[in-house]
Amino acid sequence: MEEFADEESFYARPGLPWITPELRTGLHELDFGLEDNLPELVDASHLKGDLHLHSEWSDGNDPIELMVESATAQGYEYMALTDHSQGLGVANGLTLERLEEQIKLLRDMQEKYDISILCGSECDIRATGDMDFPNEMLAKLDVVVASVHNAMNQDQATMTARMIKAMENPYVTIIGHLTTRLLGQREPVEFDLEAVLQAARDTGTALEINASPERLDLRDTHAYRAREMGIPLVINTDSHHRNHLDKRRFGVAVARRAWCRPEDILNTLPKDLFLQYIRTPKPNRLSVFDERRVGTIRA
């Protein structure tokens, strides 16, 4: 039996480059390897910001200042504070008045920090598909992460329409933890994946790869399909504690299994381009994202 000193020499035997473990799924990695066309995958060092962070204003553990300092320690150029909206009472969701107060606080805090502190909300998608805050309030925010937290037993058609309606809102930046699954605790909601992904692309709405180990949502196969369709993906930690930002590595692992390059991940954009992206109205903001993506991986 032939023996090999390492993986590189094993792969070299049939004329292949070394294939990173995340791509060893039995799909097309051998074909791409033989063509010397394997992608350079995203890693944690490529991330420039986290766009889903909670503080003690809702159900987080830490004050805003500590969350900002933790994001700064990660080397980030920007971050978004996205405490829960008013409808999620169990998470101490912010009322309109409290959100106004928080926005003012964050604008004032910016003078103390080099990192860009973006005002945001994890805004509930109501059972009807309407947002938990009126558009007049959403328009004041830099980043809106729209998420489903209730009425999860809706049938497939109703849930699909609900998600698409949320994406059609001009102020929704990202859909958070799309399937709502909690590993080992809660099954994903039912919806038409292709219809929802097409709506994300058509409306210029990004989809989150939630790095929380309890979620990992999108899962790798969903992120793979979203990447194929040119949908911006965002690796967020959904941090509720200042130490949770390190969990980005789990989201990166999902993205790598989905064959994602840095240019497939929205929050690898440097600050100037990311700010240009969020300040460009939907769906035209996709042009900022698309211009950075070179080529298409069809695997």
**Do 209 and 263 fall into the same domain?**
yes
**Do 61 and 186 fall into the same domain?**
yes
Asked if residues 101 and 136 have their Cβ atoms less than 8 Å apart, the reply is no
Mapped onto helix, strand or coil, the DSSP state of residue 5 is coil
Q: Is residue 65 included in any domain, yes or no? A: yes
| CATH code: domain of residue 165 | 3.20.20.140
Q: Using one digit for the tens of pLDDT, what is the confidence trace for 239-282? A: 999 999 999 999 999 999 999 999 999 999 999 999 999 999 99
If one counts the domains in the chain, the total is 2
Q: What is the DSSP string of 188-225?
A: PPP--HHHHHHHHHHHT-EEEEE--TTT-BS-HHHHHH
Residue identified by tokens 């973006």 is 118
Query: What six digits make up the tokens of 94?
Result: 């912010």
**E strand or H helix at 144:** strand 143-147
Is the dihedral angle over the CA atoms 278, 280, 284, 287 positive or is it negative?
negative
Q: Find the domain containing 12 and state its range.
A: 1-38
* Residue at 138: amino acid letter: L
Q: What is the pLDDT of residue 258?
A: 97
Mean pLDDT for 159-188 is 98
Residue identified by tokens 């992608």 is 39
**Do 83 and 204 fall into the same domain?**
yes
**207 closest CA partner among 291, 259, 146, 149:** 146
| CATH code: domain of residue 32 | 3.30.210.10
**Do 21 and 167 fall into the same domain?**
no
Pick the more confident residue, 99 or 26. Answer: 99
Q: Is residue 68 included in any domain, yes or no? A: yes
208, 211, 214, 281 from 173: Cα distances, Å: 10, 18, 23, 10
Q: Is residue 190 included in any domain, yes or no? A: yes
Question: Is the per-residue pLDDT at 222 higher than 90?
Answer: yes
Asked if residues 71 and 116 have their Cβ atoms less than 8 Å apart, the reply is no
Q: What is the pLDDT of residue 295?
A: 52
Asked if residues 39 and 261 have their Cβ atoms less than 8 Å apart, the reply is yes
**Do 50 and 31 fall into the same domain?**
no
Least confident of 49-53, 150-154, 295-299: 295-299
Mean pLDDT for 66-76 is 98
**Do 108 and 234 fall into the same domain?**
yes
Question: Is the per-residue pLDDT at 5 higher than 90?
Answer: no
Query: What six digits make up the tokens of 12?
Result: 């070299």
**Do 179 and 50 fall into the same domain?**
yes
In which band, very low, low, confident or very high, does the pLDDT at 34 lie, cut at 50, 70 and 90? confident
Asked if residues 99 and 122 have their Cβ atoms less than 8 Å apart, the reply is no
**Do 19 and 81 fall into the same domain?**
no
